Amino acid sequence: MQKIIVELDLPNERCKQKAMKSVSGLSGVVSVSIDMKDMILTVIGDVDPILVVKKLRRHCGTTVVSVGPAKEPEKTKEEPKKEEPKKKNPKVLNRIIIICLHHLTITVCLKKILIHVNNMLKIIVSLDLHDDRCKQKAMRSVTGISGVDSISVDMKDKKLTVIGDVDATLIVKKLRRHCHTTIVSVGPAKEPEKKKEEPKKEEPKKVDPKKEEPKKIVYDPVVDAYRAYNPQMITYYQSVEENPNACVIC
């Protein structure tokens, strides 16, 4: 498994779709993702880097950035340095306020951009993939949809993960032309970070020396007095025939 990173010259969204579609159709590709900000395409899979570059250069300028193993060695986590609080410049703030007041269209455009960024979704679907050919068809059909930024396939669990500003129903509609498809989950691309709750320190209870627990008085167990009765006399009758040696009173 290799991780191939290339830099592309993408003028528009149409070229991005063509580039992703051409790479996802190659045998052995597991994951394809693109960063439109830095114009970088990342391909993960058992595929020849030269073949990837050859396919991409049919649509746009391509430069190889790096080729290496898919899993990078784990790096020791460095403690984040505490940033010193920066002093605010009051002059700059005043200028920003003036621009916002006089150019209302700028604020409206910024809001639209922010809303567009926040609509990034992570869609996971379950596929009925029989072989590598079905996987290539599924990836090619999804990469042709506008707004897709990343796509990856897990052949073990038979799941396809798509990240981008795209409708989930459109993805399922495209995939059902090739294989049976079921939506597993649809949610935001980046999950909100949960704040770790610090465990509350239990304060030791203060014991007042004055207040002492009252001593419990324990009494000796009382013996129940019962009236004593003499045992009852029991008489037994016995015939002479049974015991001839017994005394006989005439």
- Quick check: 15 and 60 in contact, CB under 8 A? yes
CA–CA gap between residue 95 and residue 129 (Å, rounded):
58
Give the global pTM.
0.51
CA–CA gap between residue 204 and residue 136 (Å, rounded):
65
Taking only the tens place, the pLDDT of each residue in 131-152 is 888 888 888 888 888 888 888 8
Taking only the tens place, the pLDDT of each residue in 2-12 is 888 888 888 88
The alpha helices in the chain, defined as continuous H runs, are 13-24, 49-56, 90-102, 104-118, 132-143, 168-175
Across the chain, what does the average pLDDT equal?
74
For residue 192, pLDDT over 70 is answered with no
